[in-house]
């Protein structure tokens, strides 16, 4: 394997596709959102990217079969619009790796003719959330204005440490290629996998891109998470949780 190994699974012609990235991060918000799109719109795997910049790791599927650390691009048709959805279980292992991987992802997106991109993620608040605001950032002022009209909030000095990892570099390196990129960050406590925050992010995305998506399965996961939170709260007085419960904690 070279530094990157890009596996071709399908080669559809896409019409003005939009890149939507949802790799793991705070509250797994971006990952949950991207995976929800894949499930609801029956995404077709088009590329799989392996790289020595990913962790040296395989995951074991429920049937005992292993999968090497990778990221995947799926084609999704949502409301007549072509999306190229980037998802996976890993970020890079170090800073240089993040730069190299993101360049590789932008190359793949470019090969499909992507001219607009969204990076999805979460922003930690440190406390449990009632109203899920979505914060934004973008490579350009026009993008910022469009996001603002869709209800995205822009707050001075947030997110405090800037945006890091692949999401941050999609913006930074995308701009170097004249690709307009917007980042949608759902507020989330930062302590748990947060399907509600993922829903808030998707609601903004669907308004911006003009598609309709059902949230029933995200709602179910949100309810499961609420059960977990309750059990954790009970733990402080009562018996220990089972492994099954803890499995949901990201």
Binding site residues, a copy of itself, CB under 8 A: 1, 5, 50, 52-60, 62-69, 92-100, 102-103, 136-141, 144, 147-148, 154, 156-159, 161-166, 168-169, 171-173, 175-176, 183, 243, 247
Instruction: Give 44 or 175: the residue with its C-beta nearer to a copy of itself.
Output: 175
CB of 67 to a copy of itself, least distance (A): 8
CB closer to a copy of itself, 44 vs 93: 93
Q: Residue 36 or 100: which CB sits closer to a copy of itself?
A: 100
Min dist. Cβ of residue 103 to a copy of itself (A): 6
Please, which residue, 25 or 40, has the CB nearer to a copy of itself? 25
Q: Of 121, 127, 102, nearest to 159 (Cα)?
A: 121
**Is the CB of 56 or the CB of 80 nearer to a copy of itself?**
56
* Residue whose token pair is 């800073």: 95
Least distance between a copy of itself and beta carbon 220 (Å): 19
Strand-pairing partners, residue 83, are 18, 76
CB of 90 to a copy of itself, least distance (A): 10
Q: CB pairs under 8 A, 24+ apart, for 146-155?
A: 146/182, 146/208, 147/182, 147/184, 147/204, 147/208, 150/204, 150/207, 150/208, 151/204, 151/207, 152/184, 152/204
Nearer to a copy of itself, 100 or 196 (CB): 100
* Pairing label, strands 18-22, 44-51: unpaired
Residue 216 CB neighbour total at 10 angstroms: 7
Inter-residue contact 166 to 91 (CB < 8 Å) = yes
d(CA 93, CA 78): 33
> For the packed helices 29-40 and 216-235, what is the interaxial angle rounded to 10 degrees?
140
Q: Measured from the CB of residue 41, what is the shortest distance to a copy of itself in angstroms?
A: 27
Which residue, 53 or 196, is less far from a copy of itself as judged by CB?
53
Cα-to-chain-centroid distance, residue 6: 20
């Amino acid at each position: 394997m070279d530094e990157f190994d890009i596996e071709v699974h399908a080669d559809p012609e896409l019409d003005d596709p939009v890149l939507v990235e949802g790799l793991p991060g705070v509250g797994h918000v971006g990952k949950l959102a991207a995976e929800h799109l894949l499930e609801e719109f029956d995404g077709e795997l088009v590329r799989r990217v392996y790289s020595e910049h990913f962790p040296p790791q395989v995951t074991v599927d429920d049937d005992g079969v292993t999968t090497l650390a990778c990221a995947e691009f799926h084609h999704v048709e949502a409301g007549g619009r072509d999306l190229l959805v980037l998802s996976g279980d890993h970020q890079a292992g170090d800073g240089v790796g993040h730069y190299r991987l993101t360049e590789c992802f932008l190359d793949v997106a470019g090969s499909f003719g992507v001219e607009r991109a969204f990076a999805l993620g979460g922003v930690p608040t440190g406390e449990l959330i009632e109203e899920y605001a979505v914060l934004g950032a973008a490579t350009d002022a026009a993008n910022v204005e469009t996001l603002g009209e869709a209800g995205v909030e822009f707050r001075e000095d947030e997110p405090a440490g800037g945006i890091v990892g692949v999401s941050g570099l999609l913006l930074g390196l995308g701009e170097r290629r004249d690709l307009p990129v917007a980042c949608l960050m759902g507020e989330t406590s930062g302590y748990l996998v947060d399907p509600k925050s993922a829903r808030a992010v998707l609601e903004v995305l669907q308004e911006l891109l003009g598609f309709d998506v059902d949230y029933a399965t995200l709602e179910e996961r949100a309810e499961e998470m609420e059960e977990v939170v309750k059990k954790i709260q009970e733990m402080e007085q009562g018996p220990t949780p089972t492994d099954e419960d803890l499995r949901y904690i990201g």
